[in-house]
Amino acid sequence: ETGMFTFDRGYTSTASCRSKITYIDGDKGKLMYRGYDISYLATKKTFLDTAYLLLNKELPTKEELDSFKEEMAKRSFIHEGMKKLFDSFVDQAHPMAILSAGVSALSTFYFDHLDIDSPEEYMEMANRIIAKIPTIAAFSYRYSNGLPIIYPDLQKGFTENFLYMMRAYPHKHVDLTAIEIKALDTIFTLHADHEQNASTTAVRNLGSTHAHPYAAISAGIGALWGRAHGGANESVIRQLEMIGTVDRVDEFIARAKDKDDPFRLMGFGHRVYKNFDPRAKILKKIRDELIEELGIDSELVAVANKIENIALNDEYFISRNLYPNIDFYSGLILQALKIPKDMFAVIFVIGRTPGWISQWIELKEQETIKIARPRQLYLGPDDRTPIH
Ligand code: SDX
């Protein structure tokens, strides 16, 4: 029992983080999970294959995938007591607020967080949160819109089940086409991990203080919600709707280029990619296919296309390596899938959770875990304390 009082000496700035999970080459526009290129995983594998790979360091055999699917289905239900939490939110509460609270509340149902110190317990915490997040997410949406909740259907696959819980109504059949399920499954895969981005850094920071893993995931949800990060896909659609028509695009492109104007094009630019985000390339193809397949011919898509064509050829954007990022295309696809805007960042959370919890496990498996403690550059006044 003394284990809970032993800590590693010293601290580390998260900037010196070492990881074997994800590799990004921002100049070449390359992204790999555990050594597999993202385009291979997004086109030849499923999201659960990818989640298993992130967690277990190897792609699953057919048997391993089947038992992982069973584990996900078995764990997809949440404690009935959680419904009291959902009831406490006001109508139209943002689903990200409900999701963050729900995940944090999960920590009260499982383990005393000081006892989680074995690979088996790490994996149990990981499987549980990956399986339950879609249910909490769908319940958050249903509660926030005053709709009856739909429980998981154990006959459906992971991604189909989420869409079913979002769209089903007790009194009418819900149609889910294979192309929609595959598009969403690919979106989950493309979001599964991304090295030490802001939300993953938040998760690892809480991991370094030995906080409960579900408190760490809840912190990741909070960080991701920001419009500079995972909230960007919702902001992309809101911005396209605000611009409204193709003839207003030039005015907003000019504002985005104006140094004295804080207006930015949502869905453009990236901290690391100074080339096309490889995930954006894959999503662009899916967006075009889906729009054609679903026969979508909206002013919104025309506005997005005009912005994209201008930005890809304009000196201001080219000289600053500002390319469309994952959020520019995911927002348009989610809209085509009839997912409400305020659920876009929630979709990002469902995809990113295997990455977050794999990064948390990797930190816990380290020989020593030093508490994250980045230092600062002090710019304040010199000591001016009065002598007497
Ligand atoms: C995600 O880190 C990750 O991996 C994140 C993510 C993940 O998977 O976890 O990839 C997901 O968060 C993608 C990013 C989503 N955010 C957005 O789309 C919001 C809009 N983009 C930006 O605000 C911005 O581009 C950032 C925050 C994404 C990146 O900012 P940087 O790299 O710090 O860029 P910067 O602020 O240093 O800007 C460099 C120049 C500046 O101009 P100058 O001062 O050189 O004249 O580029 C300009 C900026 O003004 N610029 C933009 C712009 N983004 C940067 N100008 C117009 N529109 C934009 N979107």
* Residues with Cβ within 8 Å of residue 258, at least 6 apart in sequence: none
Q: Could you tell which of 268, 330, 359 is best to mutate to test the pocket of ligand 1, judged by most ligand atoms within 8 Å of the CB?
A: 268
| The pair of three-digit structure tokens given for residue 370, joined into one six-digit string | 């030093």
> Is residue 45 lining ligand 1, measured as CB closer than 6 Å?
no
> Is residue 325 lining ligand 1, measured as CB closer than 6 Å?
yes
* Residues with Cβ within 8 Å of residue 387, at least 6 apart in sequence: none
Question: 22-25 and 11-12: which strand pairing?
Answer: unpaired
Q: What's the burial of 137, exposed, middle or buried (CB within 10 Å: 0-12/13-18/19+)?
A: buried
Selection from 99, 51, 135 nearest residue 345 by Cα: 99
> Is residue 271 lining ligand 1, measured as CB closer than 6 Å?
yes
Nearest residue CA, atom 22 of ligand 1? 269
The pLDDT score that the predictor gives to residue 13 is 46
Q: From start to end of the chain, where are the E strands?
A: 11-12, 22-25, 30-33, 36-37, 371-372
The pLDDT score that the predictor gives to residue 9 is 56
Query: In Å, how far from its chain's centre is CA 217?
Result: 11
**What's the CA gap between 164 and 158, in Å, rounded?**
10
Whole-prediction pTM value?
A: 0.91
The pLDDT score that the predictor gives to residue 388 is 85
> Is residue 197 lining ligand 1, measured as CB closer than 6 Å?
yes
CA of 271 to the centre of ligand 1 (A): 6
Question: 36-37 and 30-33: which strand pairing?
Answer: antiparallel
3-state secondary structure 254-304: HHHHCCCCCCCCCCECCCCCCCCCHHHHHHHHHHHHHHHHCCCCCHHHHHH
Nearest residue CA, atom 3 of ligand 1? 197
**What's the CA gap between 373 and 114, in Å, rounded?**
21
The pLDDT score that the predictor gives to residue 168 is 80
* Residues with Cβ within 8 Å of residue 125, at least 6 apart in sequence: 110, 111, 116, 213, 214, 357
The pLDDT score that the predictor gives to residue 218 is 98
Q: Which residue has the tokens 């385009």?
A: 39
Nearest residue CA, atom 41 of ligand 1? 320
Residue type, 67: S
Angle (deg, nearest 10), helices 326-336 and 299-311: 170
> Is residue 259 lining ligand 1, measured as CB closer than 6 Å?
yes
* Distance linking the first and last C-alpha atoms of the chain: 50
Q: Could you tell which of 23, 200, 319, 325 is best to mutate to test the pocket of ligand 1, judged by most ligand atoms within 8 Å of the CB?
A: 325
> Is residue 322 lining ligand 1, measured as CB closer than 6 Å?
yes
Nearest-5° angle of CA 40, CA 182, CA 73? 100
- Mind telling me the catalytic residues? 270, 327
**What's the CA gap between 206 and 213, in Å, rounded?**
8
Nearest residue CA, atom 50 of ligand 1? 259
| Each residue's pLDDT expressed in tens, for the chain with a length of 388 residues | 454 455 555 555 444 689 999 999 999 999 999 999 999 999 999 999 999 999 999 999 999 999 999 999 999 999 999 999 998 998 889 999 999 999 999 998 876 656 678 899 999 999 999 999 999 999 999 988 888 999 999 999 999 999 999 988 766 667 788 988 999 999 999 999 999 999 999 999 999 999 999 999 999 999 999 988 998 898 999 999 999 999 999 999 999 999 999 899 999 999 899 888 999 999 999 998 888 887 777 899 999 999 999 999 999 999 999 999 999 999 889 988 889 999 999 999 999 999 999 999 999 998 788 888 888 999 999 999 999 8
Nearest residue CA, atom 54 of ligand 1? 269
**What's the CA gap between 163 and 157, in Å, rounded?**
10
The pLDDT score that the predictor gives to residue 104 is 95
Question: Ligand 1: which atom is nearest the Cα of residue 198?
Answer: 2
